[in-house]
Amino acid sequence: MGKSGRILIVDDNDELLIALKIFLAPHFSEIYTERNPNLIPSLISNNFDIVLLDMNFKAGINTGNEGFYWMQEILKIDPSAIIVFITAYSDVELAVKAIKEGATDFIQKSWDENKILSTILSAYQLRQSKLEIKQLKTKHEHLNQNIQNEFHLIKGEAPKMQILYDTINKVSDTKANILLLGENGSGKEVIAREIHQLSDRKNEIFVSVDLGSISETLFESELFGHTKRAFTDANQDRAGRFEVASGGSLFLDEIGNLSLPLQAKLLSAIQNEEIVRLGSNQPISVNIRLICATNKDLYKMVEDGEFREDLLYRINTIRLEIPSLRERVEDIPVLSDYFLNIYKTKYNKPKLKIGKSAIERLKKHHWQGNIRELRHSIEKAVIMTEEKTLKAADFFFDNKQLLKPGKADSFNLAENEKQLIQKAIARYKGNLSLTAKMLGINRSTLYEKMKKYEL
C-alpha cells in the first residue's frame, strides 16, 4: 500500500505515541499524536481516516469509561469515524464491548507488530470503503434527481389520466406487483418511476430493464448476474439487475417479448425471492418491488400458449392501463410546453415560445408514437427554427396522420403503423437502428413489427 491516509493517535503514554508514530510512518502520509483527550473535539474536524484511542487515561483506572465517552463524542461529530482502541491485556473484554457499541477494532499494548499493522491497515480499508459508499450514494441521489427531471409525470387534465393518477396514489405504497399496459411511447416508464417515488422505497434504487433488448443467451447474466469465469469474457463477478435492485424497485419493460423458457426462469426468481448467479450454486435473497410493462395483450398470449398464466398472475396483482396520447389530446398543450422548456434550454433558445397554430396542429396529429413522438417532434422543431415562436409550419406531418374531428375511429391503426414503418425505413435508407430511434422504439420491437407486417 502506498503512503496515504491520516491517523490521529490519542494516548497519555509518550513512549507509546512515539513508537506508534515511527512504526506507522512508512505506511501513512500523516500521523498526529495527542496526550490530552479534551482536545479531541477540535481535532476531529480535520477529517482523520483512523483514530487510535486509549481506553483509559487516568492512572490506576481501568473501567474504560473514558474511552467509551470519547468514542461517543467522536461518533457524534463524525458518525462514519473509524475508531481503533488501544488496550492493555486486561481490557480485552472492554474492547470487545466497545466494538459492539461503535468501535471498529482494537490493538493491544503488548506490541505485536504484525497484529497492529494488519488491524490498522484493515481499518483504513474499511474507511476507504465507507467513503466510497458515501460518494456512490451522493452520486446516486444526484443521478436520481436528474432522472426524475427527465421522467417527470405530467398528470394533465384528461379524465383518464386523473383516474390513473388516483389509482397510482392508492397502490404505490403497497407491496403489490404492478403491470402497466399501454402503447409504445405512452409513458409506461414514467408511470413506473412515479410509483417508485410515491412508495416507501423512494430512497432506494430504481432499476429499469428493457427485456426486448436482451438476447436469450444474456438473459440470466443480465438479470441474475454471473461469477468470474462463468463463461468466456466473464473476467469478474457481476451482480445482476435483480440483485442491484434489491431493496428498491425493478421495472421490467416489454415483458411480453420473453420466450417461454425465459418466462419460467423469471417466474422462479419472483416466486422464491432469490436468484442464483450464473456459474454459482449459491442462492442470493432479493427484496424487490416488481413493476412490469408491455404493449401486448398478455391474456390473448396466454390463450395462444405464448405466455405463462402463472407468471401473468404473479406480475398482475394490480393492472394499470396507460391512455394513448390520442385519448388525452387536451394534455398536448401542457406536454408541449414541458418539452419546449427542456429543449429551449438545451439548445440555448431561452425566448422561444410555441404558438396557438402549432398547438392546434399538434392536437390534430394521430400520434402513432404517443408522447415519445411528441417529444421528438418538439425537439426537432426547436433545433430547426430560426424564429422566436414555433408555428404550425414547423411541424411536418403526413396528412394521412391527422385526426379529423369526430372521426378518430375511422383510422385503421395497424395499417397506419405499417405505412409509417415503411416510410421510415425508406427515409433512412434501410438503416434499421436509425429507423427504430426515429420511430421511438427499440430495434427488437422494430424487427418484430417488420415480421408482423411482412416488411
Domain containing 443 — which CATH number? 1.10.10.60
Q: Which of 63-72, 221-230, 395-404 has the lowest mean pLDDT?
A: 395-404
Q: Counting Cβ atoms within 10 Å, is residue 85 exposed (0-12), middle (13-18) or buried (19+)?
A: buried
342 in the same domain as 283:
no
* One domain for residues 279 and 295: yes
**Do residues 424 and 383 share a domain?**
no
The residue among 387, 409, 431 that closes a domain is: 409
Predicted pLDDT of residue 406 = 44
Domain that includes residue 234, residue range: 166-321
- Whole-model pTM? 0.61
pLDDT in tens, 73-127: 998 888 888 999 988 765 677 778 888 888 888 888 878 888 899 999 988 888 8
Give the pLDDT confidence score for residue 145 in this predicted structure: 59
Question: Does residue 25 belong to any structural domain of this protein?
Answer: yes
* Any domain includes 336: yes
Strands (E), 323-372: 353-354
Is residue 428's pLDDT more than 90? no
pLDDT of amino acid 95 = 75
Domain assignment of residue 160, yes or no? no
Average pLDDT for 19-45: 90
Whether residues 244 and 376 share a domain: the answer is: no
173 with 266, same domain? Answer: yes
Give residue 196's Cα distance to chain centre: 11
- Residue range 224-235: mean pLDDT, rounded: 84
- Measured between alpha carbons, how far is 430 from 226 in angstroms, rounded to an integer? 36
Residue 450 has pLDDT above 70, yes or no: yes
Q: Looking at the structure, tell me whether residues 182 and 317 fall in a common domain.
A: yes
CB within 8 A of 166, min separation 6: which ones? none
In a domain, 69, yes or no: yes
Which residue, chain included where needed, has cell 384528461?
158
206 pLDDT more than 80: yes
Using alpha carbons, select from 200, 195, 288 the residue that is nearest to residue 248.
288
| Domain identity same for 185 and 246 | yes
Same domain assignment for residues 280 and 269:
yes
Domain CATH code at residue 97: 3.40.50.2300
| Residue 450, in any domain of the structure | yes
The answer to whether residue 132 scores a pLDDT higher than 50 is yes
Q: Which residue has the cell 396483482?
A: 317
Residue 434 and residue 361 in one domain: no
CATH of the domain at 328: 1.10.8.60
Q: Which of 9, 170, 171 is nearest to 86 (CA)?
A: 9
pLDDT above 70 covers what percent of the chain? Answer: 89
All residues at 6 or more sequence positions from 379 whose CB lies less than 8 Å from its CB, including other chains: 339, 343
78, 109, 132 - which closes a domain: 132
User: In the listed set 132, 152, 183, which residue is the last one of a domain according to the structure?
Assistant: 132
Asked whether residue 379 is assigned to any structural domain, the reply reads yes
Same domain, 69 and 23: yes
pLDDT greater at residue 62 or residue 36: 36
Considering just the CA atoms, what is the radius of gyration of the chain in Å? 30
pLDDT tens string 363-393: 999 998 999 999 999 999 999 888 999 999 8
Q: Verify that 382 and 430 share a domain, yes or no.
A: no
**183 part of a folded domain:** yes
The Cα–Cα gap between 255 and 369 comes to 19
Per the structure, the count of domains in the chain is 4
Residues 6+ apart with CB under 8 A from 423: 398
Quote the CA–CA distance of 221 and 46 in Å, as a whole number: 44
The C-alpha cell of 317 is what?
A: 396483482
Per-residue pLDDT tens over the stretch 396-420: 775 444 444 444 443 567 667 887 8
- List for the chain the helix, strand, coil content (%; round to 5): 55, 15, 35
Domain assignment present for 212 = yes
Asked if residue 396 and residue 430 are part of one domain, the reply reads no
Query: Which position has the higher pLDDT, 440 or 300?
Result: 300
